[in-house]
Structure 1
Amino acid sequence: MLDFSHIPVVDAHAHPFVPTREKADYSYAYSMCVHKGFGDFRYLTSYRMALQEYKRLFQLPNDASEIQVVELRNRTAQEDYKSFVKLLYEDAGIEAMISDFGFPITGEGLTADEFKVFEDAAGPVCDIYDMIRIETTCDRYLYRYDMSFEDMINAFDSYVEEHVRTHKTVGIKTVVGYYTGIKWEAVSYEKAKKNFESAYRGKYLPGREDKAFRDYMVYHGLELAEKYRIAFQIHTGVGDPPACDLRLMNPNDLYELLNTGLASKTKIVIVHAGFPYGYEAAFLAANYPGVYTDISSTVSYLGRAVEGEFRKILDVCPHNKIMFGSDGGGYADQSWFAANYFKRVLSEVLQEYVTDGCFTETYANKIGKMILHDNAVRVYQL
């Protein structure tokens, strides 16, 4: 059997984690749902799999109860959070993460003290790289009610320039598809200005009244990614239910954007493997030189979905364009669980392909290392 347990990991899609943002009910860690008071998470396959992973880590008997596992996990984290993070990341072999500091989307942003807790805990055990989120930057860090459209664009450009100069910034990203869909129009400056002045209020509007401004910022973000020679991430498929309308999140809707001259100059990463539209995401990466994909979310929150989705991606997408990502955020555990689980998936699936005569064992080992580590290092210039 192929074995990738020793391969160092780059988590190419993650978020900060801090104990102050953990829910009292630990089962929330393995669902993307943002419904308040939703009580069914402990019946998720992903949650149950994570409990089993903790039994391995803590050398607990298989019949240890859910309460025993969670209490030991919480006690270990509370007694020494830095040591807890070190334990997890060394166990999974995570050596670097690309962290979206715009997390969380809803509610108040992380405080300076919370960022320090995250950096103090994660920094000693892995390299942390930054990703600028367009919408959070506009809404949380820049917008004022007296701001003109010109002020917003100038402030955004200055923010990106400063961030690239002072941080280990490897990309710009958009998540606005969860609120407007990803079929974006190349909006004119004047149309965006008019929409900004009439509709934009520094927060997501459920009726999508500010879509023209949001569309403009996606294309403008692409321009800045090309200017600074960094990657551009696009959230597709599942995320942030119930806000996300999956009918509007198929990577096929990126057709107009990907066929612009601007997109051809930029490395574009389709995140979440477009789930449940894995074939579509893989096909785009296979036919556009600058398009890549990661398998995040499918490996952290969706039970064993990655086992089927990864086969779709593996069959259609060039292997040097696939990256591991966890979409972990809020809890250190998510990246740890995802990395360990996905290493086993890689071993099992690639061994099957070797047994069936699709790959040599040498090439299968190369694929595993590329997906877990090398592709992200190259695409994001780590």
Structure 2
Amino acid sequence: MGYKKGLRNHDGVSLEENFGELPDNLQDYVEWVRKWIIQKKSEGCVALKIAMAYERSLHFEKVTREQAERVFRLQESDITQEDIRCFQDYLFWKICEIAAEVSLPLQCHTGMGQVIDTNILQLNNVIKNNPETKFVLLHCGFPWVDDLFSIVDGYPNLYPDLTWLPILSYTASKRVMHQLIEMSQIDKICWGCDTWTVEESYGSLLAFRFSLCSVLREKIEDGYLSVNNAKDIIDKILFDNAGKIYV
């Protein structure tokens, strides 16, 4: 959202209020972003998060530097939606590269948001071409969860995160967990509350525990898992996996 001054994102957050004066050219802007990411990591940041699904499509093309820097050369009144898209696409790919350089997972909000073109498959090309970047796909692309199943097995750098899913749909959360377990993705699944208050966080935990226990009970009753297998899965999803990703 830094293609012009004075902008705020969907949460009302301003870059300038949080990080100071914006650079006026693309090269300095990218280095400015890298500097802040490195500084925040040194202060304890364990991940980057992209919530652009609330602003636009998740289809980020590989554009040239020349295409991206047009927004810095044009008068504000002459900037087109295509210019904005190229700047954002270029910056997103750069952030993917920086995330790999500094070993920070990149959380991507998927699914709900502006809804149009915010499904997981929109990110397929970016994930494929940035194999050293850890992509954590928040909300598993709900309601388009089938997209996750189509690519999760093909990319070792892709991590499905069940955040928010049990609150959005108990049925969908169960289906996703059933299928990810059957696809041997147990070591990659994460969960988080994604809430604003203590009360919401606790309610989110209760919803997830109910959903997870329901899935594991069904798997045990079907003979698919032993009780010890189920206990291992609980430890992995609620603790171990995140501990390995967010190091």
Q: 1:279 aligns with which of 146, 152, 156?
A: 146
Distance (Å, rounded) in 1 between the aligned partners of 2:20 and 2:94: 17
Instruction: Note if contact 1:283-1:317 (Cα within 8 Å) is conserved in structure 2.
Output: no
Can you list the C-alpha shifts for 1:135-167, whole angstroms capped at 9, x where unaligned? Answer: x6x5653475773333322321221121112x2
Instruction: Note if contact 2:10-2:55 (Cα within 8 Å) is conserved in structure 1.
Output: no
Query: SS state of the match for residue 147, structure 2?
Result: helix
Matched, 1:236 2:110: yes
In structure 2, what is the equivalent of residue 352 of structure 1? Answer: 218
Query: SS state of the match for residue 310, structure 1?
Result: helix
Matched, 1:162 2:42: no
What pairs up with 1:6-155 in 2 under 5 angstroms? 105-107=10-12, 109=13, 138=15, 141-142=18-19, 144=21, 147-155=24-32
Amino acid corresponding to residue 158 of structure 1 in structure 2? K
What pairs up with 1:279-298 in 2 under 5 angstroms? 279-298=146-165
Larger relative strand fraction: 1
Indicate the structure whose relative CO is greater, using CA pairs within 8 Å and at least 6 residues apart: 1
In structure 1, what is the equivalent of residue 51 of structure 2? Answer: 175
Deviation at residue 285 of structure 1 after TM alignment = 2.2
- Relative to 1, partners in 2 of residues 1:146 and 1:284: Cα closer, same or farther, differing over 3 Å? closer
Query: Number of aligned pairs?
Result: 239
- Taking only aligned residues, the RMSD between alpha carbons, in angstroms, comes to 2.8
Amino acid corresponding to residue 84 of structure 2 in structure 1? D
% identical equivalent positions: 23
Query: SS state of the match for residue 41, structure 2?
Result: helix
TM-score normalised per structure 2: 0.85
In structure 2, what is the equivalent of residue 128 of structure 1? Answer: none
Deviation at residue 294 of structure 1 after TM alignment = 0.5
Instruction: Note if contact 2:71-2:87 (Cα within 8 Å) is conserved in structure 1.
Output: yes
Query: SS state of the match for residue 164, structure 2?
Result: coil
Deviation at residue 189 of structure 1 after TM alignment = 1.6
Q: 2:231 aligns with which of 365, 368, 379?
A: 365
Q: 1:249 aligns with which of 114, 118, 124?
A: 118
Instruction: Note if contact 1:274-1:280 (Cα within 8 Å) is conserved in structure 2.
Output: yes
- Relative to 1, partners in 2 of residues 1:190 and 1:207: Cα closer, same or farther, differing over 3 Å? closer
Query: SS state of the match for residue 69, structure 2?
Result: helix
- Relative to 1, partners in 2 of residues 1:303 and 1:285: Cα closer, same or farther, differing over 3 Å? closer
Query: SS state of the match for residue 191, structure 1?
Result: helix
Deviation at residue 375 of structure 1 after TM alignment = 0.6
Distance (Å, rounded) in 1 between the aligned partners of 2:199 and 2:107: 23
Instruction: Note if contact 1:279-1:313 (Cα within 8 Å) is conserved in structure 2.
Output: no
Distance (Å, rounded) in 2 between the aligned partners of 1:192 and 1:173: 21
In structure 2, what is the equivalent of residue 265 of structure 1? Answer: 132
- Relative to 1, partners in 2 of residues 1:196 and 1:184: Cα closer, same or farther, differing over 3 Å? farther
- Relative to 1, partners in 2 of residues 1:301 and 1:277: Cα closer, same or farther, differing over 3 Å? closer
Distance (Å, rounded) in 2 between the aligned partners of 1:208 and 1:273: 28
- Relative to 1, partners in 2 of residues 1:146 and 1:371: Cα closer, same or farther, differing over 3 Å? closer
Matched, 1:380 2:246: yes
Distance (Å, rounded) in 2 between the aligned partners of 1:192 and 1:273: 30
Instruction: Note if contact 2:53-2:112 (Cα within 8 Å) is conserved in structure 1.
Output: no
Distance (Å, rounded) in 2 between the aligned partners of 1:143 and 1:207: 25
Instruction: Note if contact 1:149-1:197 (Cα within 8 Å) is conserved in structure 2.
Output: no
Distance (Å, rounded) in 2 between the aligned partners of 1:200 and 1:294: 38
- Relative to 1, partners in 2 of residues 1:305 and 1:198: Cα closer, same or farther, differing over 3 Å? farther
Q: Which has the larger radius of gyration?
A: 1
- Relative to 1, partners in 2 of residues 1:270 and 1:284: Cα closer, same or farther, differing over 3 Å? same
Distance (Å, rounded) in 2 between the aligned partners of 1:139 and 1:196: 16
Q: 1:218 aligns with which of 92, 104, 115?
A: 92
Distance (Å, rounded) in 1 between the aligned partners of 2:82 and 2:66: 18
Matched, 1:341 2:210: no
Amino acid corresponding to residue 224 of structure 1 in structure 2? I
Query: SS state of the match for residue 265, structure 1?
Result: coil
Amino acid corresponding to residue 228 of structure 1 in structure 2? V
Distance (Å, rounded) in 1 between the aligned partners of 2:94 and 2:118: 20
